[in-house]
Amino acid sequence: MRSRTSFFNQTVFWDDCKRYWPLTAGYALLWLLLLPLSRLTELIHGGGALRNPYAMRYETLGVAVYGGYIVAFLFGIAFAAATLQYLTNPRATNGLHALPARRETLYATHWLSGLCCQLAAQLLALLLTAATLGAYGLFDAGEACLMLLGMALPTVFFYSFGAFCMVFTGQILAAPVFYGVASVLVVGVELLLRYFAGNFLYGWSNSGDPLTGVLSPLYPLLAGDVGVRYRYVTAADGSVLTSLRQGAMIEGLGLLFAYAAAGLVFAALGLLVYRSRPSEATGSTVAIDWAKPVFKYGVTFCMALSLGQLLYSLFLGQYRADGDASLAGTLVCMAAAGLLGYFAAEMLLKKSFRVWSSGWKGAAVVTALLVILGCAMSADLTGYEGYVPDPAQVESVRVDFYLHSSGKTGTSAFTSDAETIRLAVAAHRALASDKQRQIALDRGADGYYTPADSDPRAVNGTFFVEYRLRDGRTVTRQYDRVTLFADELPDPASPAAALNAFYNAPSVALRRALGFNWYDDSENDPREIPDLRFTGGYVTTEHYDGEFYERSDQYDLSPAEAQQLFDAIVRDVAAGRVNDSIFGGDVSMDGWIELYASYPDPNGRAPGGAARPDADENGRVSVSYDPQLTAGMSDTIAVLRGMGVEPAFPAP
């Protein structure tokens, strides 16, 4: 008879299932409470669920997906620790390794038993949920399959990752620590490095999602990359009817499959590590020899970045602006925290407090590396601070420019207009060149306010710019505390003149005059939107007798009148009558204007295929404008007077 290698031992499998039945029972009870029992309770006591079946199915799938992700994370390490806990007990390790069963058989059987216990509990909860929904006519086979995927796919990943962590350590308490830290490690290190760079680099911007988010499995759920959304009906002409829902679907399903595949890879890697793991390593914090220096220097680096920067922020850097950190202070704090982490890791590995004689050389290397890193960042060897893109390379630009004084609120813009891009680049270049003076002004700040707050010729503000380059790259810069002086306006290269010129660019002036916000989908220039239709609006004027309020009058606008007002505002902008100064100028009318409009959704769908939530059943997106009328906008004032509305302005 030919012999063959087996990766499964039936006796070990059933022994695991019987031995750890309390964990499985608790896991199953949790799923029964989350799904069938909660659904039954809502259906019995909530009549709205029967009137809106799609909402009930959406919520049920949401519980399976969001709950499945969180439960998989919490119980992944619990089941891994239960099935592989013998690796943290010397007697159990030596006993099992002395049996005829090969390590491959032991590992694969233990891994499979823990996975099957979790999947069996999920299947039971799913069947009872399907029966509950079916009794009320709400069952949908496709969504039931999605529920199972939403529960099972993250389970495969987190459980396999937990098993991978278990084979690396011989301490039962160390495994959950490794597991939890590794789940956020990559994105955490990236965020710490971003913060570290911001201490030294003038204009550093932390905007945007972490580039390494997918490598930290908890991040996609927190960032909304994994979730649930409605499916909508598509009409014969291809438009999406958002008022007609077909059911629910999983957003990020492909990512869940990728994680499950990564889980199988971790399971295979765990087997390879287990095969080379010495039995004598049981009881050690790190059971694999080659992983010990990785652990030691990884702890050192993370402690230096996290605790070191925390110490600096608490004691030395509270009132320093970005780009003006104390190099010596930062390095001292980071070196102290790094050395603490280094010797702590050394103690854990050697199980002894006497590590100075063997560890001082490594500590010296760590300190030297931290000093080199800090000096390199402080010297801006990459040229980050001075880099300003060529306007010809910029496809579009987004700017947020906010003012904290002079009675202005600032403005923001998103445009592909070549002239506006040129002015934004010029403003960015002027600020980058003014680094030393801006930092010097900020050093004299009392908390948030700078000495220029008491100077009527000066304003303070923040400036953020994001370029989308033609080669696909995105470049961002952010200057949190900018001080500008009115007496520098005659110098076109000064930050005051450059920012004032950008403030009065035609596309920026139009945005400022219309006053619309980001949530109104204002990345679209209203002059370029096809089939933009005004649907109405209103004008409210306030009247004062000196400083005392008298009354307010409201005039409702017809669609035609709203269009007339919009056209008048555009003419005033084109004629330069909306030009203003960031240091003060035209006064706004007492009251406010609101214009309502809609336009066809140019995409019809959001990324991923779902209908945009702000599109109506006709596929049109609503937008509102609240124009800021100033005394110099003569065309707009004339149109209002023609409607019988007399705008009032405060006395100069």
pLDDT at 119 over 90: yes
pLDDT-derived band of residue 31, with 50, 70 and 90 as boundaries? very high
**What pLDDT does residue 318 have?**
62
Helical (H) or strand (E) element with 52: none
Q: Say if residue 548 is exposed, middle or buried (CB neighbours under 10 Å; 0-12, 13-18, 19+).
A: exposed
Three-state SS string across 60-86, please? HHHHHHHHHHHHHHHHHHHHHHHHCHH
CA-CA distance, 152 to 457, in Å (whole number)?
64
The β-bridge relationship of strands 227-234 and 240-251 is antiparallel
pLDDT at 242 over 60: no
pLDDT-derived band of residue 609, with 50, 70 and 90 as boundaries? very low
b (16+ CB within 10 A) / e for 4-43? eeeeebeebbeebbeebeebbeebbebbbebbbbbbbebb
Pair 410, 402: CB distance under 8 Å: yes
pLDDT at 613 over 80: no
pLDDT-derived band of residue 632, with 50, 70 and 90 as boundaries? confident
The mean per-residue pLDDT over the stretch 310-331 comes to: 71
**What pLDDT does residue 94 have?**
67
In this structure, which amino acid lies at residue 508? Answer: V
Tokens 């810069």 belong to residue: 477
**What pLDDT does residue 375 have?**
77
Neighbouring C-beta atoms of residue 490, cutoff 10 Å: 8
Neighbouring C-beta atoms of residue 313, cutoff 10 Å: 16
Q: Which of 111, 89, 141 lies closest to 12 in space, CA to CA?
A: 111
Farthest CA pair distance, the chain: 109
Pair 578, 632: CB distance under 8 Å: yes
CA-CA distance, 118 to 164, in Å (whole number)?
17
Q: Which residue has the higher pLDDT, 122 or 526?
A: 122
pLDDT-derived band of residue 393, with 50, 70 and 90 as boundaries? very high
pLDDT at 237 over 60: no
Q: H-type helices in 532-619, by residue range?
A: 559-574
In this structure, which amino acid lies at residue 43? Answer: L
The mean per-residue pLDDT over the stretch 134-146 comes to: 85
Best-predicted range by mean pLDDT (7-11, 17-21, 328-332, 578-582):
17-21
Q: Which residue has the higher pLDDT, 320 or 333?
A: 333
Whole-prediction pTM value?
Answer: 0.77
Q: Which of 565, 540, 562, 566 lies closest to 553 in space, CA to CA?
A: 540
Pair 640, 565: CB distance under 8 Å: yes
Q: Which residue has the higher pLDDT, 617 or 103?
A: 103
pLDDT at 3 over 50: no
**Coil/strand/helix, residue 381:** coil
pLDDT at 605 over 50: no
Pair 552, 559: CB distance under 8 Å: no
End-to-end alpha carbon distance in the chain: 105
DSSP characters for 603-623?
Answer: SSS-TTSPPPTTB-TTSEEEE
User: What's the pLDDT tens digit per position in 491-541?
Assistant: 988 999 999 999 888 888 888 888 754 444 555 678 877 888 999 999 988
User: How many CA within 13 A on the CB side of residue 355?
Assistant: 19
Q: Which of 122, 126, 119, 154 lies closest to 140 in space, CA to CA?
A: 126
pLDDT at 607 over 50: no
CA-CA distance, 211 to 189, in Å (whole number)?
11
User: What's the pLDDT tens digit per position in 551-604?
Assistant: 788 899 999 999 999 999 999 998 988 888 888 766 778 888 999 988 877 655
**Coil/strand/helix, residue 456:** coil
**What pLDDT does residue 361 have?**
72
Q: What rounded mean pLDDT belongs to the chain?
A: 82
By percentage, how much of the chain surpasses pLDDT 90?
30
Q: What is the DSSP letter of 101?
A: S
**Cβ neighbours of residue 464 closer than 8 Å, sequence gap 6 or more:** 205, 207, 399, 400, 401, 476, 477, 478, 479
pLDDT at 611 over 50: no
Q: Which of 514, 526, 512 lies closest to 400 in space, CA to CA?
A: 512
The mean per-residue pLDDT over the stretch 467-488 comes to: 90
User: What's the pLDDT tens digit per position in 187-208?
Assistant: 998 888 888 887 778 888 877 7
pLDDT-derived band of residue 87, with 50, 70 and 90 as boundaries? confident
CA-CA distance, 26 to 79, in Å (whole number)?
12
User: What's the pLDDT tens digit per position in 355-385?
Assistant: 776 666 777 777 777 778 777 777 777 788 8
The mean per-residue pLDDT over the stretch 175-187 comes to: 91
CA-CA distance, 442 to 452, in Å (whole number)?
10
Pair 544, 572: CB distance under 8 Å: no
From residue 352, alpha-carbon distances to 294, 338, 344, 345, 358 in Å are: 19, 19, 10, 11, 11
**Which tokens belong to 149?**
């995927």
b (16+ CB within 10 A) / e for 314-336? eebbeebbbbbbeeebbbbbbbb
Q: Which of 72, 401, 473 lies closest to 260 in space, CA to CA?
A: 72
**What pLDDT does residue 1 have?**
37
Where is average pLDDT lowest: 148-152, 254-258, 412-416?
412-416
In this structure, which amino acid lies at residue 450? Answer: T
The mean per-residue pLDDT over the stretch 48-76 comes to: 84
In this structure, which amino acid lies at residue 122? Answer: Q
